[in-house]
């Protein structure tokens, strides 16, 4: 269902080949594509410069902006190099606009319960941070630098003092990892890795206990897994293995894990155990996120659809993505 293709990225005057997971239908690999030059800061950036950049890029506090009364669903289109904004009425979506400025090969995306919206901007090795209003998203108010990485997904706590980014790979073709950002800083506080090998990062989710869960696919042994980094630090511990092809993941308010197996559908766990198939009949499910009420789990389907799944696991709404583009990330606003 999904295969690996190569993403050629120009950085600092050099061309690096890195493994990028991309969707396909019927087992046929999608063509590789080129992004624009990735902005990578010079090696050995002085600590004082990093600190200044963090302060300048730090998002304004939520209290300075009112929580929007309108509801939105935002998507990220890997191959369209854009993010799309939909107004939501119940589960019905109406297209409003596309965002293109500064966006290159976006993938996973998430929104907090107070309407901050994060986009993993893989083509520029960063994460863009917007704030949604009754007129749609404003910003970006911040840019999280993910030096030397290809960010593919992102999650954030409500207070935004902990942000985790799943890296597909390094720009040099190295293994995927998780970049952790603390206290609203614009540079990563640490980078988490798991074992050695050709691991390609996919989804990332932060539990209510502040642990980072990371899904990846191993291109050497085949198949996907989910590991837990306690406190979003240290060494990862295997939680779930044997996934045919891992996709995104998220938690509900009771800390039950939901994850995507792109070959079969969405699984729901009791905590992180006793996982069972929850929803299926998708084309190519890639990423998932809850809306703030958790009445619906929203699904980015790379065959070109946005789906809403109810608490019983039934698809209650399906919309063809505007422009026929394939969404790789979906973020209901406000989110979980």
Residue 54's φ and ψ, nearest 5 degrees, are -65, -40
**235 token code pair:** 């060494």
Residues for the chain: how many in total?
Answer: 336
The pTM of this model reads 0.84
Query: Residue 316, exposed/middle/buried by CB under 10 A (0-12, 13-18, 19+)?
Result: middle
- In this model, does residue 309 exceed pLDDT 60? yes
Q: How confident is the model at residue 64 (pLDDT cuts 50, 70, 90)?
A: low
Q: How far is CA 109 from CA 146, 194, 243, 275, 309, in A?
A: 15, 23, 22, 24, 18
| C-alpha to C-alpha distance for 137 and 112, rounded to whole angstroms | 13
| C-alpha to C-alpha distance for 329 and 28, rounded to whole angstroms | 21
Q: How confident is the model at residue 65 (pLDDT cuts 50, 70, 90)?
A: low
The strand pair at 33-34 and 2-11 is best described as parallel
Mean per-residue pLDDT, 207-216: 97
How many other C-beta atoms lie within 10 A of the C-beta of residue 61? 10
Q: How far is CA 321 from CA 148, 161, 317, in A?
A: 31, 32, 12
256-298 pLDDT tens trace: 999 999 999 999 999 999 999 999 999 999 999 999 999 999 9
| C-alpha to C-alpha distance for 214 and 177, rounded to whole angstroms | 9
The residue behind tokens 């905590």 is 271
How many other C-beta atoms lie within 10 A of the C-beta of residue 236? 20
**318 token code pair:** 């399906």
pLDDT at 35: 33
C-alpha torsion angle, residues 296, 313, 299, 323 (rounded to 10):
-90
Task: Check if the beta carbon of residue 93 is closer than 8 Å to that of residue 73.
Answer: yes
Residue 33's φ and ψ, nearest 5 degrees, are -140, 165
Residues 6+ apart with CB under 8 A from 312: none
| C-alpha to C-alpha distance for 144 and 202, rounded to whole angstroms | 18
Domains in the chain, please, with CATH?
A: 2-333 (2.130.10.10)
pLDDT at 290: 98
Mean per-residue pLDDT, 131-160: 96
Residue, of 336 and 182, whose pLDDT is higher: 182
85-127 pLDDT tens trace: 999 999 999 999 999 999 999 999 999 999 999 999 999 999 9
Q: What sign does the dihedral 302-207-189-101 (CA atoms) show?
A: positive
């Amino acid at each position: 269902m999904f295969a690996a293709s190569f993403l050629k990225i120009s950085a600092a005057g050099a061309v690096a080949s890195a493994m990028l997971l991309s969707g396909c239908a019927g087992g046929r690999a999608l063509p590789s594509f080129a992004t624009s030059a990735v902005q990578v800061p010079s090696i050995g950036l002085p600590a004082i410069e990093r600190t200044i950049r963090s302060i300048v890029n730090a998002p304004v506090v939520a209290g300075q902006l009112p929580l929007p009364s309108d509801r939105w669903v935002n998507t990220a289109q890997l191959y369209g190099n854009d993010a799309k904004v939909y107004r939501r009425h119940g589960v019905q979506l109406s297209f409003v606009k596309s965002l293109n400025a500064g966006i290159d090969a976006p993938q996973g995306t998430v929104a907090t319960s107070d309407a901050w919206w994060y986009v993993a901007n893989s083509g520029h090795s960063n994460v863009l941070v917007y704030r949604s209003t009754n007129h749609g998203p404003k910003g970006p108010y911040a840019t999280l630098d993910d030096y030397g990485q290809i960010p593919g997904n992102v999650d954030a706590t409500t207070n935004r003092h902990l942000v985790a980014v799943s890296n597909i790979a390094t720009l040099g073709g190295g293994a995927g990892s998780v970049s952790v950002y603390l206290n609203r800083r614009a540079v990563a506080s640490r980078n988490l890795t798991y074992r050695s090998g050709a691991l390609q990062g996919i989804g990332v989710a932060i539990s209510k206990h502040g642990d980072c869960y990371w899904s990846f696919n191993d291109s050497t042994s085949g198949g996907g897994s989910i590991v837990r980094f306690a406190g979003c630090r240290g060494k990862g511990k295997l939680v779930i293995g044997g996934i045919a092809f891992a996709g995104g993941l998220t938690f509900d308010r009771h800390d039950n894990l939901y994850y995507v197996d792109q070959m079969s559908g969405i699984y729901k766990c009791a905590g992180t155990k006793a996982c069972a198939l929850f929803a299926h009949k998708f084309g190519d499910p890639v990423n998932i996120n809850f809306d703030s009420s958790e009445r619906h789990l929203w699904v980015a389907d790379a065959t070109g659809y946005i789906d809403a799944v109810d608490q019983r696991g039934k698809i209650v709404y399906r919309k063809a993505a505007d422009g026929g583009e394939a969404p790789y990330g979906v973020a209901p606003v406000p989110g979980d």
